[in-house]
């Protein structure tokens, strides 16, 4: 046997590498054999084929008969849309709840605490389906729309928000049996958006709370003694310093949120997973390719998001002398 | 808004309020200390007055729990009758009713095996952990699947409800914790091949959604099996969950390994311990102690994530609720079903997090 530890280690590594490579080869052979028996080949050429399904919600034009490749683009944009909406809302809501958690007011403090506990201790999937089935599908018809602030309307067909058309703001309004004007946000998107942002906000609130507590109390006392009002102390002294501590844990919450957007499949929001692991897989029968494609796209989105957050973290990090 | 720290005395203890009655002083300090605070209190009370009474009317006052059919339920209250009549389905899925004692017995065994592991001062905790993670699952599998010693065979397709969530979570923890520890050591290894493989493995699983991993186990894995070999669907899903969560466990454990001072390792080396002995008897026990709260968090997360099994066609609690609410005899009670399943998960997860927090307090107290 090999006596010298360094040589032994090197030999062990070669053996390990050989094992991994041969396992990969065996698996690839098995898959090749199974595919051949089903008269299938492996390849991504099907992306140029025409797809025979509709994508009910999209940001860029889509028609039945466009290619699978374009479907991938449409769905990726849908995933990105709900992720970005979720990240923005979750951050704002998390900031609010995190600050509420530290309020002097007993009621406010405890409401924030129980909000966090309730949201963190129930499955995200249950929450998303709850918003969709138990809340959005029981809303009134367009005629009895619920009026929200800023001219927004909420009914069973979704959320209608004012839209910017040719430089003027156009408010949604009832027109016959339907709503005209404004932009419609379909209920599927509202449900996923609510589910993603509320779930993440509870985790972000705890991050915010920990970050605020990590700011040295001397900072706050100094600001107060300079005559700043409590609100100003929070906005101008405490939060900017807390932000630096917050960025790394926030990054991982954002990445979680992006990955969770695949839960939109449960309420048929046409994002990547719903369309590719559902419709495309069934129509083309290409299990291997669709799953690999899905993983690759999510992995790239995540890597891009984490690279951006690292860059941002680097920028806001305190320059140590 | 002014902030007070949870663990330090409030900045200005005002002697004025202290002299007054305890109840009044408390109110004044916590609800009406400034005009802003008073306004907040009033807003919250007003909101509660709008939200709470309708909810109480729906969930309690106008709700029904007796009866056997939907005819018993009123139009403007929750129909808990739906939940009550379906309880066996929600807890056991389609497990044969006359065999349910096996599930109860497994539950009792779980409590028996888990108690010594969770107690504060136990000798030979490691032996108990080993029993819980190795002996108990084998015993439970024998009991639940059956087919030996006169126990009728129960197919895993009949498993369901909350029981399935608990079983899958347990298997996932028992598998992913040891694998995660190995990966954490691998990631800290000085051998480049081992380190690269471990980093690649961890980052791959952490970069993709769990749903794609579960889907992979459901539709992609059969492609990689030799002809004629098939693996139970539930087993495949469990394997996927183990691999996925091992990556998260690895990162938690790695944090703990980094938290052990290097002096510990040096001291062990100077006593003549080799690398393996040092890690197994000096570093790992201390590291695991630090990361128990992190492990508990991961366990809570993976327990919640078992609801995703519904989406690959397995029949967990959420799946049972969805199926029951699509029953034509009980249409329109989906809300009650989701509220019920959310409550069940809340109770389980809250208990686990409470244990994690108490462990954390114990940890800091010892310092």
| Mean pLDDT of the residues in chain B | 87
Q: Please give, rounded to a whole number of angstroms, the shortest distance from the CA of A299 to a CA of chain B.
A: 5
Instruction: Report chain B residues whose CB lies below 8 A from the CB of A107.
Output: 31, 40-41, 44-45
> Which residues of chain A, if any, have pLDDT below 50?
none
pLDDT in tens, A14-33: 999 999 999 999 999 888 88
CA of A152, closest CA in chain B: separation in Å? 21
Query: Which of A122, A125, A129 has its CB closest to that of B346?
Result: A122
Would the pLDDT of B13 be above 50? Answer: no
Instruction: Enumerate the residues of chain B whose CB falls inside 8 A of the CB of residue A259.
Output: 208-210
Chain A interface, mutation test: which of B5, B193, B220, B305, most A Cβ atoms within 10 Å?
B193
Q: Determine the pLDDT at residue A1.
A: 57
Task: Report the percentage of chain A scoring pLDDT > 90.
Answer: 43
Out of A31, A104, A298, closest to residue B212 by CB: A298
Judged on CB neighbours under 10 Å (0-12, 13-18, 19+), A19 is exposed
pLDDT at B11: 46
ipTM score assigned to the predicted complex: 0.88
Q: What is the pLDDT of residues B249-274, one digit of tens each?
A: 999 999 999 989 989 999 999 999 98
Q: For chain B, say whether A33 makes contact (Cβ under 8 Å).
A: yes
Q: Which of A273, A285, A298, A292 is nearest to A28 (CA)?
A: A292
Q: For residue range B187-214, what is the model confidence (pLDDT) as tens digits?
A: 988 888 999 999 999 999 999 999 999 9
Q: Using a CB-CB distance cutoff of 8 angstroms, which residues of chain B are in contact with residue A217? A: 5, 8
Nearest by CB: A277 against B37, B215, B300: B215
User: Looking at chain A, which residue has its C-alpha nearest residue B37?
Assistant: A105
Q: Which of the residues B34, B44, B212, B299 would you substitute to probe the A interface, choosing the one with the greatest number of A C-beta atoms within 10 Å?
A: B212
Question: In chain B, what residues touch A133 (CB-CB under 8 Å)?
Answer: 334-335, 338
A213 in contact with chain B, both atoms CB, cutoff 8 A: yes
The nearest CA of chain B is from the CA of A59 a distance in Å of 23
User: Is some CB atom of chain B closer than 8 A to the CB atom of A115?
Assistant: no
Residues in chain A with CB shorter than 8 Å from the CB of B182 are none
> Which comes out higher in pLDDT, residue B100 or B20?
B100
Confidence (pLDDT) at B348: 95
Q: Least CB-CB distance to A106: which of B11, B31, B45? A: B31
Burial of B360 (0-12, 13-18, 19+ CB in 10 A): middle
Q: Which residue among B223, B338, B349 sits closest to A31, beta carbon to beta carbon?
A: B223
- The half-sphere exposure of A237 on its side-chain side, counting CA atoms within 13 A, is 22
CB contact under 8 A, B191 and A99: no
Nearest CA in chain B to A42: B223
Mean pLDDT of B296-310: 94
For range B281-297, the mean pLDDT? 90
Q: pLDDT tens digit string along A129-155?
A: 999 998 888 888 888 888 888 888 888
Please give the residue of chain A at the shortest CA–CA distance from B41: A107
């Amino acid at each position: 046997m090999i006596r010298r530890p360094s040589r032994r280690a090197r030999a062990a590594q070669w053996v390990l590498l050989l094992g991994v490579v041969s396992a990969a080869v065996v698996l690839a052979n098995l898959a090749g054999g199974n595919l051949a028996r089903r008269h299938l080949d492996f390849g991504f050429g099907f992306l140029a084929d025409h797809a025979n399904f509709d994508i009910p919600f999209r940001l860029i034009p889509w028609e039945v008969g466009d290619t699978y490749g374009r479907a991938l683009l449409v769905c990726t944009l849908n995933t990105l849309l709900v992720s970005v909406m979720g990240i923005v809302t979750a951050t704002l809501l998390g900031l609010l709840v995190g600050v509420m958690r530290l309020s002097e007011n007993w009621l406010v403090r405890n409401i924030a605490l129980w909000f966090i506990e309730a949201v963190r201790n129930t499955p995200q999937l249950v929450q998303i389906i709850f918003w969709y089935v138990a809340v959005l599908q029981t809303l009134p018809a367009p005629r009895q729309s619920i009026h929200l602030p800023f001219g927004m309307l909420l009914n069973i067909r979704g959320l209608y928000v004012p839209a910017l058309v040719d430089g003027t703001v156009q408010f949604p309004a009832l027109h016959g049996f339907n709503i005209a004007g404004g932009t419609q946000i379909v209920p599927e998107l509202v449900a996923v958006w609510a589910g993603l942002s509320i779930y993440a906000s509870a985790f972000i609130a705890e991050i915010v709370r920990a970050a605020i507590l990590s700011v040295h109390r001397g900072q706050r006392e100094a600001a107060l003694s300079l005559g700043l009002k409590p609100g100003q102390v929070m906005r101008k002294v405490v939060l900017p310093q807390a932000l630096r501590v917050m960025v790394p844990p926030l990054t991982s919450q954002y990445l979680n949120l992006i990955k969770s957007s695949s839960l939109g499949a449960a309420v048929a929001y046409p994002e990547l997973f719903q369309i590719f692991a559902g419709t495309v897989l069934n129509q083309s029968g290409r299990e291997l390719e669709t799953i690999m494609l899905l993983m690759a796209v999510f992995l790239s989105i995540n890597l891009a998001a984490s690279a951006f957050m690292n860059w941002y973290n680097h920028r806001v990090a305190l320059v140590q002398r | 808004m002014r902030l007070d720290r949870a663990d330090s005395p409030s900045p200005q203890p005002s002697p004025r309020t202290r002299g007054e009655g305890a109840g009044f002083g408390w109110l004044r300090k916590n609800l009406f200390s400034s005009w802003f605070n008073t306004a907040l209190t009033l807003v919250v009370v007003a909101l509660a007055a709008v939200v709470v009474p309708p909810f109480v009317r729906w969930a309690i006052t106008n709700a029904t729990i007796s009866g056997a059919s939907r005819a018993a339920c009123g139009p403007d209250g929750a129909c808990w009758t739906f939940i009550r009549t379906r309880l066996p389905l929600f807890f056991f899925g389609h497990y044969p009713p006359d065999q349910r004692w096996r599930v109860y017995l497994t539950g009792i065994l779980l409590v028996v095996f888990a108690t010594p592991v969770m107690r504060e001062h136990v000798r030979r905790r490691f032996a108990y952990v080993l029993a819980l993670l190795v002996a108990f699952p084998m015993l439970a599998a024998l009991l639940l699947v059956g087919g030996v010693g006169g126990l009728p065979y129960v197919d895993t397709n009949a498993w369901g409800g909350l029981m399935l969530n608990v079983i899958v979570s347990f298997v996932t923890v028992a598998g992913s914790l040891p694998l995660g520890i190995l990966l954490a050591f691998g990631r800290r290894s000085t051998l480049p091949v081992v380190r690269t493989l471990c980093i690649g493995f961890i980052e791959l699983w952490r970069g993709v959604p769990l749903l794609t991993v579960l889907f992979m186990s459901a539709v992609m894995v059969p492609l990689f099996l030799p002809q004629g070999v098939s693996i139970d669907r539930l087993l495949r899903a469990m394997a996927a969950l183990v691999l996925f969560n091992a990556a998260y466990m690895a990162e938690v454990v790695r944090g703990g390994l980094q938290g052990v001072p290097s002096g510990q390792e040096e001291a062990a080396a100077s006593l003549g311990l080799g690398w393996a002995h040092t890690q197994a008897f000096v570093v790992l026990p201390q590291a695991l102690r630090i990361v128990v709260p992190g492990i508990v968090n991961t366990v809570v997360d993976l327990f919640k994530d078992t609801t995703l099994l519904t989406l690959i066609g397995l029949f967990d609690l959420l799946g049972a609720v969805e199926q029951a609410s699509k029953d034509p005899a009980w249409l329109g009670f989906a809300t009650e079903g989701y509220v019920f399943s959310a409550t069940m998960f809340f109770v389980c997860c809250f208990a686990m997090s409470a244990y994690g927090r108490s462990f954390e307090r114990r940890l800091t107290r010892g310092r």
